[in-house]
Amino acid sequence: MPANSKRPAVAGEAAKRGGVFALGVALMALGLAGCTHLPRARLPACSLAPAPAIKVAADGGSATTTLDVLTYNIEGLPWPARASRAKQLAEIGRILSELQGVGQAPDIVLFQEMFSGAAVRAVDQSGYAALVAGPGRTQKGPEATGRLPLRAKPLKGEIGIRLMTSGLAIASRFPIVTSHSEPYARLSCAGFDCLANKGVLAARVVIPGVPSPVDLLNTH
């Protein structure tokens, strides 16, 4: 047998070990990022809420108003998935806060990918009176039923452990009266998305002068 016949196999094993080491380093970094908490909820009293402009029909039989809703993936991923995002994330929070000050900000913002500490600070400092977030990192979701058709890929992050929160938040200038978050089942994910406790965040918003509340759902 030629002396170099085993080289491809040896190289393959070395590459695999290198991949495992790199994954270990990445998981350690993401695990530290997992220490980042969700922003604290803000639930102002309905009596303090500003009223939107309401247009009444000429016959007085109906009235309308406009609700400006922004869905915003702020790409707040931690290192090593992303690097050097702190400045841009701080700018997001600053601009939204300034727009609030001059009455030009969206009424409601649905944030996604709020994972890093800088991302949490940006959302927290965006200037909105009402704020909810979730699911958190350790919140339990339903168990998946049945078996998946394929095997898990640990080198792709499918290790059954949640290292980060869902990264979801809802901010509103109108009062949020109730909210609820629900993680997806532990096996309802693929690839590195499995490292985040992804799910759905729901919020009910009361708008002064509007007879019925508005229900919002945020997911990513």
Among residues 80, 39, 71, which one has the least CA distance to residue 166? 39
Judged on CB neighbours under 10 Å (0-12, 13-18, 19+), 42 is middle
Please state whether beta strands 199-205 and 169-172 pair in parallel, antiparallel, or not at all (unpaired).
unpaired
Residue 31 lies in a domain: yes
Q: Which of 1-5, 72-76, 154-158 has the highest mean pLDDT?
A: 72-76
**Residue 76, strand partner residues:** 114
What is the predicted pLDDT for the residue at 50?
Answer: 82
Q: Which of 78-92, 110-124, 169-183, 194-208 has the lowest mean pLDDT?
A: 78-92
| Residue 145 C-alpha from the chain's centroid | 25
Residue 46 has pLDDT above 70, yes or no: yes
147, 74 contact by CB (below 8 A): no
Residue 71 lies in a domain: yes
Residue 18 has pLDDT above 50, yes or no: no
Q: Mean pLDDT throughout 76-105?
A: 90
Residue 72 has pLDDT above 70, yes or no: yes
| DSSP 8-state secondary structure symbol assigned to residue 204 | E
Q: What share of the chain is helix, strand, coil (3-state, %, to 5)?
A: 30, 25, 50
Among residues 203, 147, 134, which one has the least CA distance to residue 175? 203
The pLDDT tens digits of the residues spanning 129-182 come to: 999 999 999 998 887 676 666 776 666 666 778 889 999 999 999 999 999 999
Range 10-13 contact pairs with CB under 8 angstroms and sequence separation of 24 or more = none
Q: Does the global pTM surpass 0.75?
A: yes
| DSSP 8-state secondary structure symbol assigned to residue 144 | P
For residue 182, how many other CB atoms are within 10 A of its CB?
Answer: 16
- Using CA atoms, how far apart are residues 64 and 80, in angstroms rounded to an integer? 47
Q: Which of 82-86, 95-99, 142-146, 211-215 has the lowest mean pLDDT?
A: 142-146
Residue 14 has pLDDT above 60, yes or no: no
Residue 71 has pLDDT above 90, yes or no: yes
Residue 204 lies in a domain: yes
Q: Mean pLDDT throughout 39-54?
A: 86
- Using CA atoms, how far apart are residues 77 and 86, in angstroms rounded to an integer? 10
- CATH code of the domain covering residue 149: 3.60.10
Residue 1 lies in a domain: no
Residue 148 lies in a domain: yes
Residue 51 lies in a domain: yes
Q: Mean pLDDT throughout 106-125?
A: 97
218, 187 contact by CB (below 8 A): no
Residue 2 lies in a domain: no
Tell me which residue range forms the domain holding 92.
Answer: 7-219
What is the predicted pLDDT for the residue at 215?
Answer: 98
Q: How many domains does the chain have?
A: 1
Residue 116 lies in a domain: yes
Q: Which amino acid is at 13?
A: E
